[in-house]
Amino acid sequence: MSAGGAFGGNRGARPVPPEKGVFPLDHMHLCDAEKKDYIGCLKSSGHKSDLCRHLSRIYLECRMNKNLMAKQDMSELGFGKKPVLEASKDGITNEMIED
């Protein structure tokens, strides 16, 4: 006879959640508007996620603010600075802004 669980695991061991990739579902629909905006953008852009990155950022920030995921610097989630071309009276300048 085995003293383990149904699949051979130890029933007394406490499970350890993964560091990334799994977070609580939004059962209370706290970020539904942000999610719908992002999904709508994906559908209208032919699922080109780069065109909807700004909405992805807003959705992730909502999840962090509502404690649905751990707070992290956005640069750790792939949102860094990106170059933006601006027209000035002297010509075009290149500036960095937060993505």
> If you write DSSP's letter for every residue of 45-74 in order, what string do you get?
TTS-GGGGHHHHHHHHHHHHHTTSS----G
Q: Which amino acid is at 67?
A: N
Q: What are phi and psi of 39, to 5 degrees?
A: -65, -40
Tell the burial category of 19 from Cβ atoms under 10 Å away from its Cβ (0-12, 13-18, 19+): exposed
Other Cβ atoms closer than 10 A to 63 = 20
Q: Against a cut of 0.75, is the pTM above it?
A: no
Supply the pLDDT for residue 94: 43
**What are the tens digits of pLDDT across the range 6-62?**
666 666 667 665 566 556 788 899 999 999 999 999 999 999 999 999 999 999 999
- pLDDT tier for residue 5 given thresholds of 50, 70 and 90: low
**45 neighbors 54 (Cβ within 8 angstroms):** no
Ranges of each domain in the chain: 32-98
Q: Which residues contact 75 (CB under 8 A, 6 or more apart)?
A: none
